[in-house]
Amino acid sequence: MMGLIAQLKCIYTNAHSMGNKQEEVEDIVQQENYDKIAITETRWGDLHNWRAAVVGYKLFRRDRQGRRGSGVALYVKECFDCLELNDGDNRVECLWVRIRGKANKADIMVGVCYRPPNQDEEADKIFYKQLGEFSPLLALAVMGNFNLPDVCWKYNTAERKQSRRFLDVWDIAS
């Protein structure tokens, strides 16, 4: 399973609004020849639909519904066969895309997630449910901003209960 993951060239960024960064992202993507580009806090609106495309890439996006700001996006090179999986629950800003493996390589599930700093435990549970559905079935790559500043990734520890729960679920999924 790790063959496809090890071969993918990826980049992740928290854009904090793509409106004035679209050209910069396009230049970096084309220069470095990335296979997938994950972006959180895109803050795209209807005005950006005409500018969001990057030549040679499929765009998957999930804009924040009913509230201002945020949104997540994933660009995947057109040569990959992809399928977006959406559970329709707008309480969690996650985008899940299955990339089909080539030449007998396993499929990979790519998740792009934005967790607002004030997200409640109910929304966290929805994310954990999504993560639990995909992790036992496929190789999994999850990128995003989880806004858990008390997590020490080096030692896998956290101070707050909500952050410790995130680490516990993450251990089970990985």
Mean pLDDT in residue range 4-27: 74
The pLDDT value recorded for residue 65 is 66
Number of H helices, E strands in the chain: 4, 8
The pLDDT value recorded for residue 88 is 67
Question: For 141-157, what is each residue's pLDDT tens digit?
Answer: 889 999 999 999 889 89
Question: For 58-97, what is each residue's pLDDT tens digit?
Answer: 999 888 766 666 789 999 999 999 999 876 677 888 999 9
Please give the CATH architecture assigned to the domain spanning 2-173: 4-Layer Sandwich (3.60)
The pLDDT value recorded for residue 172 is 67
Total Cβ atoms within 10 A of residue 157? 12
- What's the rounded Cα separation, in Å, for the pair 134 and 77? 22
Element (H, E) at 37: strand 36-40
More confident residue, 74 or 138: 74
Q: Helix or strand or coil: residue 167?
A: helix
Segment of 35-49, 84-98, 112-126 carrying the highest mean pLDDT: 112-126
Mean pLDDT in residue range 49-63: 78
Q: What is the pTM of this model?
A: 0.83
More confident residue, 6 or 94: 94
The pLDDT value recorded for residue 17 is 66
Mean of pLDDT over the chain? 81
The pLDDT value recorded for residue 3 is 45
Chain centre to alpha carbon of residue 136: 18
Q: Where are the domains of the chain?
A: 2-173
